[in-house]
Amino acid sequence: GFRSSSKLLLVFSLSGGGLLAYSESQSNSTAKNTEHNQLTNKKKVVVLGTGWASTSFLKDLDISSYDVQVVSPRNYFAFTPLLPSVTCGTVEARSIVEPIRNIMKKKNGEIQFWEAECTKIDAANKKVFCHSVIESNLVGNKDFSLEYDYLIVATGAEVNTFNTPGVMEYCHFLKEVEDAQKIRRSVIDCFEKAILPELTEEERRINLHFVIVGGGPTGVEFAAELHDFVHEDLVKLYPMVKDLVRITVIQSGDHILNTYDSRISTFAEQKFARDGIDVRTGCRVLGVSDKAVNVKVKSTGESVSVPRGMVVWSTGVSTRPVVKDLMDQVGQGKRKVLATDEWLRVKGCEDVYAIGDCATIDQRKIMEDIAAIFNAADKDKSGTLTVEEFQDIIDDIIIRYPQVELHLQSARLSSVTDLLNDPEGNARKEVDIEGFKLALSQVDSQMKSLPATAQVAAQQGTYLSNCFNKRDLAKITPEGPRRFKGTGRHEFLPFRYKHFGQFAPLGGEQAAAELPGDWVSVGRSTQWLWYSVYASKQVSWRTRVLVVSDWTRRSIFGRDSSRI
Ligand code: FAD
């Protein structure tokens, strides 16, 4: 059903190929929609976003049982791991995007897409308010609202400036395709400006000083791409300034790539040192002005002003305003990130799910929940459970909280073994609950949230569509763990993340990879592994062919340095 509160709607008529305008009264439209839903008995699902999480949700969703509408300011999916390659023209922007309408084409139904931004989620009335972001003088209302039975929030996150002065005004970001395109033009601008007549050598040097703030995977990959672009292509085109180029990475921690295995960060630091990329660790940026980056060296406490050409800010992400507003509504106002439970349901409201970078599975209350589970099981309030009861509960906890499995295992090996056996090593008949809770509290602090990566987002999308597809079946035959605060079982197994490893391309046809099972691989062969994994992970054959042909074009003709 075509659902909108706007009075005048513009739609593209696919059959006629032209622009067709028609008006419809709001009451008429609502009546029709209600009628449509009663006839089809389909639940209304509204999905916010067209990124990694939402597209993987849509790809596998069985839309014969749902009426699906997608809202996003972006009518395409972007393959973000290749964004750093777009900044230097190794890969073209259009090669890494797929129109969302191509992804949504389904054989057994239709998914509606509205190019707009969700400005407010009204969780109590199950409604979202949207605003069209199409900048034009086309006629018609820009605002509309949608009702939902289930809402999937997958709006990702926004760049985090940590309120550092000057960052918004003077820095580039690397989050969206447009950001990468702007960086590409800006790099060329720096070179064209640096070679203009009547500049002093110092001015040329400053214009060609590229500063990257943040030594995480994005900052490091961009530094590596830029180094390759400069040394493989630009120095041949701008020979007079080739010795004046400088690339600096500023990192507040002690190492770059500090979320990776230490062997990888050491390899990256050594490679950058050989390549002449200046890595300044232990430095915090206090502010950015039109001419310099103001840096505080943590060890000495001194402030240094670093003259700069272009600055790329890549220091992490924070919550979007629309999600922050939802958090205030559902009693999560004091948190930094929207919290969900293990089934990815937003805590504090009904029928709202959040997947990808916009949310995190709440780990903080898991130990409290586990304590409550034990207290509920201890019906006679004796403070003990039989070993069988205890074992049963532990097995259920592992199914319910997969992320604590490893920690429980380690707890089991040490203190839990002691709880199960008396000092002589003989098996006890009963287990002391307080002792077990104490053992668990020691591992509580070791639990970390899942990283904000495409891998997590995509797996959450797939998991959730699976749950949606099995919703009716699961009501009859639930597959989840026992409910501790009621009778019966949960409908679904909780979300379980499987880590497939991570890459760090380091330039010069070399990459590092952290693979499952504590494997680390570095060098040229890893770069080939990177090429094959990233080619295979493309969402369509169209983008796969485009990306591979871009890589081939680059290796034959080099990168294009036109400023378009
Ligand atoms: P996104 O993919 O950001 O999608 C969010 C969607 O929501 C977008 O379509 C956006 O337009 C839309 N949206 C925003 N606001 C609204 C609103 N108000 N209403 C409706 N829609 C809205 N991860 C990896 O695993 N491996 C990598 O190699 C890797 N490399 C990366 C490189 C770069 C340069 C970047 C920036 C990220 C990289 N990541 C990588 C991280 C990965 O891109 C994110 O974790 C992933 O995009 C998160 O998916 P998501 O669906 O939550 O958000």
What are the pLDDT digits (tens) for 286-310?
Answer: 999 999 999 999 999 999 999 999 9
Q: Name which residue sits closest to atom 30 of ligand 1, judged by CA.
A: 81
pLDDT tens, residue by residue, 28-66: 444 445 555 555 679 999 999 999 999 999 998 999 889
Instruction: Please choose from 129, 449, 453, 527 the residue to mutate so as to test ligand 1's pocket, defined by most ligand atoms within 8 A of CB.
Output: 453
List CB contacts of 246: < 8 A, sequence separation 6 or more: 205, 208, 209, 210, 278
The answer to whether the CB of 510 is under 6 A from ligand 1 is no
Q: What is the pLDDT of residue 117?
A: 97
Q: What is the pLDDT of residue 56?
A: 96
> Separation of 174 CA from ligand 1 center, angstroms?
11
Distance, CA of 486 to CA of 125 (rounded, Å): 27
Terminal-residue alpha carbon distance, the chain: 41
pLDDT tens, residue by residue, 249-280: 999 999 999 989 999 999 999 999 999 999 99
Distance, CA of 193 to CA of 2 (rounded, Å): 52
The answer to whether the CB of 220 is under 6 A from ligand 1 is no
Q: What is the pLDDT of residue 283?
A: 96
Distance, CA of 466 to CA of 474 (rounded, Å): 11
Q: Where do the DSSP E strands lie in 163-309?
A: 172-173, 209-213, 246-250, 278-280, 283-288, 292-297, 303-307
Q: Helices 387-400 and 366-377: crossing angle, nearest 10°?
A: 150
Q: What is the pLDDT of residue 22?
A: 31
Q: What is the pLDDT of residue 288?
A: 97
Phi, psi of 374 (to 5 degrees): -65, -45
Tokens 């800010």 locate to 313
Q: What is the pLDDT of residue 490?
A: 83
Q: What is the pLDDT of residue 15?
A: 32
Distance, CA of 363 to CA of 446 (rounded, Å): 11
The answer to whether the CB of 164 is under 6 A from ligand 1 is no
> Separation of 536 CA from ligand 1 center, angstroms?
19
Tokens 């505080």 locate to 296
Per-residue pLDDT of the chain (564 residues; tens, 9 = 90+): 333 333 322 222 223 333 223 333 344 444 445 555 555 679 999 999 999 999 999 998 999 889 999 999 999 999 999 999 999 999 999 999 999 998 888 666 789 999 999 999 999 999 999 999 988 888 888 999 999 999 999 999 999 999 999 999 999 999 999 999 999 999 999 999 999 999 999 999 999 999 999 999 999 999 999 999 999 999 999 999 999 999 999 999 999 999 899 999 999 999 999 999 999 999 999 999 999 999 999 999 999 999 999 999 999 899 999 999 999 999 999 999 999 988 999 999 999 999 999 999 886 666 677 777 777 777 777 877 787 777 777 777 777 776 566 556 555 445 556 666 677 767 777 777 777 666 666 555 445 678 899 999 999 999 999 999 999 999 999 988 777 666 778 889 888 888 889 999 999 999 999 988 778 999 999 999 999 999 999 999 999 999 999 999 999 999 988 888
By C-alpha distance, which of 547, 555, 545 is closest to 530? 547
Phi, psi of 518 (to 5 degrees): 60, 30
> Separation of 61 CA from ligand 1 center, angstroms?
20
Distance, CA of 218 to CA of 384 (rounded, Å): 51
Residue 265 Cα distances to 33, 448, 500, 503, angstroms = 56, 20, 19, 12
Q: What is the pLDDT of residue 20?
A: 28
DSSP 58-85: HHH--TTSEEEEEEES-SEEE-GGGHHH
Distance, CA of 4 to CA of 71 (rounded, Å): 12
| C-alpha 562, offset from chain centre | 32
| Per-residue tokens: 418 | 């002691």
> Separation of 187 CA from ligand 1 center, angstroms?
24
Q: Determine contact, residues 239/269, Cβ cutoff 8 Å.
A: no
Question: Quick one: which atom of ligand 1 is closest to the CA of 175?
Answer: 36
| Per-residue tokens: 48 | 């916010």
Q: Name which residue sits closest to atom 9 of ligand 1, judged by CA.
A: 50
Q: What is the pLDDT of residue 370?
A: 72
> Separation of 76 CA from ligand 1 center, angstroms?
12
Q: Determine contact, residues 83/174, Cβ cutoff 8 Å.
A: yes
- Positive or negative: CA dihedral 368, 369, 373, 376: positive
| Per-residue tokens: 65 | 């049982």
Q: What is the pLDDT of residue 287?
A: 97
List CB contacts of 415: < 8 A, sequence separation 6 or more: 435, 438, 439, 442
What 3-state DSSP class applies to 493?
Answer: coil
Q: What is the pLDDT of residue 395?
A: 74
Q: What is the pLDDT of residue 407?
A: 57
By C-alpha distance, which of 397, 394, 407 is closest to 446? 407
